[in-house]
Structure 1
Amino acid sequence: MRTKTILLAATFATALAAAPAQAQAQTVRAESVRGHVSYLAGETLRGRGSATPDEAMAAAYVASVFRGIGLQTAPGMQGYTQPIDIVSTRLNGTPTLAANGSPVAAPLLFASSGESIRGKLAVFAGTDPKQVPAADVVIATDKSVNPLAFAGGVDPAKTKLVIIRKTAAVTDYYARIGGAPRLPRAFKDAPARPRITVVALDDAAFDALAAQDGAEVALDVPVVVQPMVTTNAIGFLPGTDPKAGVLLISAHLDHLGVRPDGQVMYGANDDASGTAAVLELAAALSAAKRMRRGILFVAYGSEEAGGFGARWFVDHPPVPLTDIVANLELEMIGAQDPKLPAGTMMMTGYERSTFGETLKAHGALVTADPYPEQNFFRRSDNYALALKGVVAHTVSGWATIPSYHTPDDTVANLDIPFMARAIQSLVAPLRSLANSDSRPEWKEGGKPSE
């Protein structure tokens, strides 16, 4: 049944892509955008969970569109999909927490190294996670800190388990990551890296434990490790000058899938909208005269689970990374941010390079990111490329949309006309850059490093 569904999806995608090329040339149609997001964020794909068969079906759909509009396979590839072997840890029971042998009530396992932990409890009343002393188990008691930000700043080489207070913000974010703990995933045969385990407790349990400095703490996390496959979809539009370099236009095709409670997280804005934009740009840019530079169109798998698709692409690029002139990532372009000028998208890290200015000068509806404190530049697949020196940025319509990582991120809540206009505004600027001799550059201090 699953194979039959994939074939039907591929047939539908090919038929959609096979609409008369001249009608599609340079024109992004709202009806086509709606068709893409309706399938990608519809019932059939059940939220496109990272490294699931549903994600593979989404990749097959994207690959079929690439094939249907006449894109070639990327250099060195035999097909339009790039399967990636990973290993994933999942719970195989209920985690338990105890102090001096007595159970601690209702521990919420937020993130885990995948291992059970034993150690003495150290109470830390400070606010700087870098000042946490070397201890197997730490409980952070200062109420002024953001519990999750604090835990994320603790050195996993010094501490195994951080216990935080279960605030409303912690509970809300737990729901937004899918209502399940973050557990280790890694590329197959990759060496393990240190990870912090984070447990949140209700006020009563937290306060009782915080009064037991030096207690022997035991966290049991029953898990199983299983192989999984995540999938990238890649299409290539060759240029007329192989020495001119290539552009990379990308998005991620996965989302959070089905929550443990059975709720589907559809991910229409995040990131069926960006994937649809990649498909529309591929159709528009391939429908007219060939350009000087080639263009790679990529839909990554497993962004939500740790950016595996983009990280694999960076380590196994079909063209040398030095040949990539610039990378434009499209994510969450399904609605207009009220902070932005009407009709525009924000570009993360706009001030870091000349890329945004170049696109804007040729008509792209992009502007600077109004949320620099959110560090969005580092939070999308563009960052894997940027760390390797590629000028890479993400454009978004509304990055702080209320439906972010909720079941309400559905097609019904997308602004399709806005999407079509925003995507259309990128066609001419990207074509101009693909025919240009110049390339975007990092500004002084703009290129990131680890």
Structure 2
Amino acid sequence: MYNPKTLLLATTLAVTLALPAHAQRAPAPITPEHVRAHVDILAGPALRGRGSATPDEAAAAAYVASMFRGYGLAMAPGMTSYTQPIDVVSLRLDGAPVLTANGVAVDSPLLFSSSGQPVRGKLAAFAGTDPKQAPAAAAVIVTNPAANGLQLAGGVDPSKVQLVIIRATDQVRGYYDRIGGRPRLPRYLKGETPRPRPSVIALGDAAFDRLAAQDGAEIALELPGLVEQAQVTTNAIGFLPGTDPAAGVILISAHLDHLGVRPDGKIMYGANDDASGTAAVLELARVLAGKKHRRGIIFAAYGSEEAGGFGAHWFAAHPPVPLADIVANLEIEMIGQQDPKLPAGTMMMTGFERSTFGDTLKAHGAFVTTDPYPEQNFFRRSDNYALALKGVVAHTVSGWATVPTYHTPEDTIDKLDIPFMARAIQSLVKPIASLADSKAKPEWKPGGQPTE
């Protein structure tokens, strides 16, 4: 159920902010006050961090949908609502994991993540640091003290290894606390199968050392109390029809969810990630809805990016217009702070060099530049990638992608640089309007379109 107080606040603000765009021919320019009004709702205490596929996320989607409707946007073609509910299946572990070696219980295993399946088979010790060199075995224990256990586990081929066992160092235990002291279990779209991944367990020093000495032991991991539960994630979508239906559409998007409430009760507000991007989509919708353009523009706020990009994947698989008609997709994520590595006042665009889109935006005044973190593969790590894999020229713009508050309870409204956000969003208005009125369209450069 929606929180009635939350919906009242959302509806009131939606009406208040939407009226100017509906009542005047030239909407007011984007100001810090407009931006702050959105993030106050999206990252405020009432929405409790907008956890993926939760009623709080649904309330955030309802707020965004109310704004789209108030700005005079239409429902997207084929849709009967401004919201798009999507069925998700998630697993929850109500019991404690049980790990045994040769039938003997192993003390206090910390389960970080799991495929949701039991593991049975031989244990192999691995003294290397390259996950690609890990031996094929049911379970692998990482014995090299120089190895970063969590990073190594994330790079192991799940078709070769079902379980990775690492040492519970202070750093590992600290990370376990930061993720809420509970395992990450599969979530997947209803009707699909979860993406394969190895389970990861950390052991205290004594238990780890005993197990490391048992190379070849028979390992079993059981997950008592595993529950499958149905959830719903929600996209919010608005459409500004173009004057030439054959000219295609532009997609402007962000994700509206964040990490919600941790098991210890701390709220992960997600002001920067990605209330900031959702506010940008709303402000661009408000201003661009002030006139008709040759091309249509779809404005989308996806659900469940944090849980696996489900909203964007569903959109890409069930688009309201043919994917071939989407001229370009601009995803907006984490524009709440400026990166000290970037020129003052600019945003980075992931995969800038892959297409002509960034150059086109920049030539018309957008405050965008290249990504200074190519080693982080940010191009693949946001919702743009679901569209790019389908052939759409799709990129993400961000303010500071490596901001220290990322995925912490400190990602709060007071940490945002609201004036920077307003200037950055305003810089996108003319470039998007120009592209919407143009016959030209961005293209992938040779080798730029991703294939996997």
* TM-score tier after normalising by the smaller chain length: over 0.9
TM value normalised by structure 1? 0.96
- Relative to structure 1, the CA distance from residue 433 to residue 26 in structure 2 (aligned partners, 3 Å threshold; closer, same or farther) is farther
| Aligned ranges 1:48-127 → 2 under 5 Å | 48-127=50-129
Which residue identity is paired with 2:427?
S
Number of aligned residue pairs: give it: 449
- Specify the alignment match of 2:19 in structure 1: 18
Instruction: Name the structure 1 match of 2:401.
Output: 399
Determine the structure 1 residue equivalent to 2:443.
441
- What is the correspondence of 1:257-406 to structure 2 with a 5 Å cutoff? 257-287=260-290, 289-406=291-408
Residues 88, 248 of structure 1: CA spacing in aligned structure 2 closer, same or farther, 3 A cutoff?
A: same
**Preserved CA contact (<8 Å) 2:257 2:274:** yes
State the 1:232 CA deviation. 0.3
Q: What per-residue deviation string (whole Å, max 9, x for no partner) do you get for residues 134-163 of structure 1? A: 211111222333322321222222221111
Aligned residue type for 2:300: V
Could you tell me which residue of structure 1 aligns to residue 146 of structure 2? 144
Query: RMSD of the TM alignment (CA)?
Result: 1.7
In structure 2, what is the Cα distance between the partners aligned to 1:133 and 1:53?
Answer: 43
CA spacing shift, 1:269–1:339, aligned 2, 3 Å: same
Q: 1:407 to 1:426 in 2, by over 3 A?
A: same
Label 1:80 to 1:322 Cα distance change in 2 as closer, same or farther (>3 A).
same
Amino acid at match of 1:4: P
User: TM-score scaled by structure 2?
Assistant: 0.95
Give the aligned partner of residue 158 of structure 2. 156
CA distance in 2, matches of 1:272, 1:192: 27
Name which of structure 1's ranges 89-98 and 328-337 shifts more when overlaid on structure 2: 89-98
Segments of 5+ residues of structure 1 without an aligned counterpart are none
Q: Is the 8 A contact 2:84 2:237 kept in 1?
A: yes
Tell me the CA shift for residue 118 of structure 1. Answer: 2.3
Contact preservation (8 Å) 2:3, 2:59? no
What's 1:204 paired with?
206
Shift of 1:215: 1.8
Higher deviation after alignment, 82-91 or 121-130: 121-130
CA contact (8 A) 1:335 1:418 kept: yes
Are the equivalent residues in 2 in contact too, given 1:177–1:256 (CA < 8 A)?
A: no
What is the identity, as a one-letter code, of the residue corresponding to 2:301? A
Q: What one-letter code is carried by the residue in structure 2 that aligns with 1:201?
A: L
For residues 324 and 44 of structure 1, the distance between their equivalents in structure 2, rounded to whole angstroms, comes to 35
Q: 1:274 to 1:129 in 2, by over 3 A?
A: same
Q: Give structure 1 regions of 4+ aligned residues with deviation exceeding 6 angstroms.
A: none
Q: Counterpart of 1:27?
A: 29
Q: Please give the alpha-carbon distance, in whole angstroms, between the structure 2 residues aligned to 1:375 and 1:367.
A: 16
Amino acid at match of 2:183: P
| Post-superposition CA distance 1:239-261 (Å, at most 9, x none) | 11111110000000000001011
- Distance in 1, Cα, partners of 2:248 & 2:268: 38
Residue in 2 that maps onto 1:2: 2
**Aligned equivalent of 2:259, options 246, 256, 260:** 256
- Alignment partner, residue 231 of structure 1: 234
CA contact (8 A) 1:26 1:285 kept: no
Q: Specify every segment of 5 or more residues in structure 2 that has no aligned partner in the other structure, as ranges.
A: none
Q: 2:88 is paired with a residue of what secondary structure?
A: strand
The answer on whether the counterparts of 2:35 and 2:418 sit within 8 Å (CA) in structure 1 is: yes
* Change in 2 beyond 3 A, CA 1:332/1:193: closer
The CA deviation at 1:95 is: 1.9
Shift of 1:3: 5.7
The 2-side partners of 1:237 and 1:28 are apart by: 19
Question: Per-residue CA shift, 1:161-209, capped at 9, x if unaligned?
Answer: 1112334554454455454321111111223543311112233332222
| Amino acid across the alignment from 1:394 | T
Q: Give the Cα separation in 2 of the matches to 1:388 and 1:5.
A: 40
Q: Check whether the contact 1:51–1:302 (CA below 8 A) recurs between aligned residues.
A: yes
8 Å CA contact 1:248–1:296 kept in 2: the answer is yes
- Work out the CA distance in 1 between the residues paired with 2:436 and 2:175: 40
Q: Separation in 1 of the partners of 2:180 and 2:309? A: 16
Instruction: Verify the 8 A CA contact 2:6 2:47 in the aligned structure 1.
Output: no
**Conserved? CA contact 1:177–1:405, under 8 Å:** no
Partner Cα distance (2:75, 2:44) in 1: 27
Quickly say closer, same or farther: Cα 1:35–1:175, change in 2 above 3 A.
Answer: farther
2:245 aligns with: 242
Amino acid at match of 1:416: I
Summarize the Cα distance change of 1:330–1:179 in structure 2 as closer, same or farther, 3 Å threshold.
farther
**What residue in structure 2 maps to residue 44 of structure 1?**
46
- Tell me how far apart the structure 2 counterparts of residues 422 and 377 of structure 1 sit (CA, whole Å): 20
Identity %: 72
- Is 2:150–2:172's contact at 8 Å kept on the other side of the alignment? yes
Q: Quote the offset at 1:423 in angstroms.
A: 0.4
1:50 and 1:301 in contact (8 A); partners too? yes
In the TM superposition, 1:159-198 aligns within 5 A as 159-198=161-200
Q: In 2, distance between residues paired with 1:41 and 1:210?
A: 45
Contact kept, 8 Å, 2:128 with 2:147, in 1: the verdict is no
Letter of the structure 1 residue corresponding to residue 345 of structure 2: G
Q: 1:134 aligns with which of 133, 136, 152?
A: 136
- Does the 8 Å CA contact 1:98/1:217 hold for their aligned counterparts? yes
TM-fit CA distance, 1:407: 0.3
| Residue aligned with 2:344, SS | coil
Provide closer, same or farther for how the CA distance between residues 172 and 245 of structure 1 changes in structure 2, counting only shifts above 3 A: farther
Relative to structure 1, is the Cα distance of residues 301 and 230 closer, same or farther in structure 2, using a 3 angstrom cutoff?
Answer: same
Distance in 1 (alpha carbons) for counterparts of 2:334 and 2:170: 25
CA contact (8 A) 1:6 1:60 kept: no
Deviation, 1:96, is 2.9
Alignment of 1:408-447 (within 5 A): 408-447=410-449
Is the 8 Å Cα contact of residues 180 and 259 (structure 1) preserved in structure 2?
no
